[in-house]
Amino acid sequence: ETNTLPFHPFENQQGDILRMEKEHQVLKEQLREAEEKSEQLQSRSLEEIGALEELLKKSVEETEVSQNELDWFHQDLEAQMKKWQQEKKENRDNLKTLRGTAKKQSDTNERYLKAIEDKEKQYIECLDTFLETSNKFAHEKGKLEELIKKSQGDSQECEKRAVKAEVQPKKKEKILQNLFSELGFLTANPQYSSSSASAAPVLKSQIDSWEIFISNVKKQLEKVEAEYEEKIELVKNGARNCLSKVEIVDFPCP
């Protein structure tokens, strides 16, 4: 049978449906490429996160080693303290024994007393040094714990912002492509936008407004993408505290 039905209203011109199908295939291919690029960026982000986690693990291991060394030092100091206390006790016992002797032994007693005082001074100095070192290690441990907690929070925040920065430009780029397609069609075929010739100046003004808006949005997208790539390079090169928030200007829609 021969189809004698008119193509209106399904097509404004013969072949519109075929042309739309071709445009749909092009858009599907662009979407597939965008998805592949997004997967590559996500894989690269996971690698960077893995490197940060390895650095964090190394810092934790170094902290544990420092704590073990502090424990060993504490044990050694306790052994020295017991040894000094034993020596002090022995010297005092000897002093009690020598008190009943003659003047000949008094000089020896004085030397023992002086030796005991020197030992006590050394003990006090070592104890002060130990307390100072212990407080210093405790302070450093607290700073490291705060730094680890802050690094974990920064890592999670950066991951969220990276995902958001990858998704939003793709959505805006697709919207811009659709708007450019519509504007191109209306500009080339002004008869489809209005049935009245008097509406042409209004349509021209609206098209100009949309073109200005789209140009501003494209410039904003290029600026944001450039800043995003710059921050990625800074992080790759080992920079810290460089992931400040990217400022975005919202242009009013015509």
Contacts 24+ apart (CB under 8 A), 174-178: 174/31, 176/214, 176/217, 176/218, 176/221, 177/27, 177/30
Give the lowest-confidence range in 103-107, 127-131, 194-198: 194-198
Domain assignment present for 1: no
pLDDT of residue 187: 59
Higher pLDDT: 190 or 110? It is 110
**Is the separation of the CB atoms in 70 and 137 below 8 Å?**
yes
Domain assignment present for 25: no
Domains contained in the chain, number: 1
Domain assignment present for 27: no
pTM of the model: 0.31
Element (H, E) at 129: helix 103-188
pLDDT at residue 37 above 90?
yes
pLDDT digit string, tens, across residues 46-62: 989 989 999 999 999 99
DSSP summary character for residue 147: H
Domain assignment present for 175: yes
Domain assignment present for 173: yes
pLDDT of residue 108: 78
Residue 231, domain extent: 169-183+204-253
Domain assignment present for 231: yes
Dist. CA 60–CA 235, nearest whole Å = 21
What backbone phi and psi angles, to 5 degrees, belong to 84?
-65, -40
Domain assignment present for 208: yes
Domain assignment present for 223: yes
pLDDT of residue 31: 94
pLDDT of residue 224: 81
Arithmetic mean of pLDDT, 205-220: 81
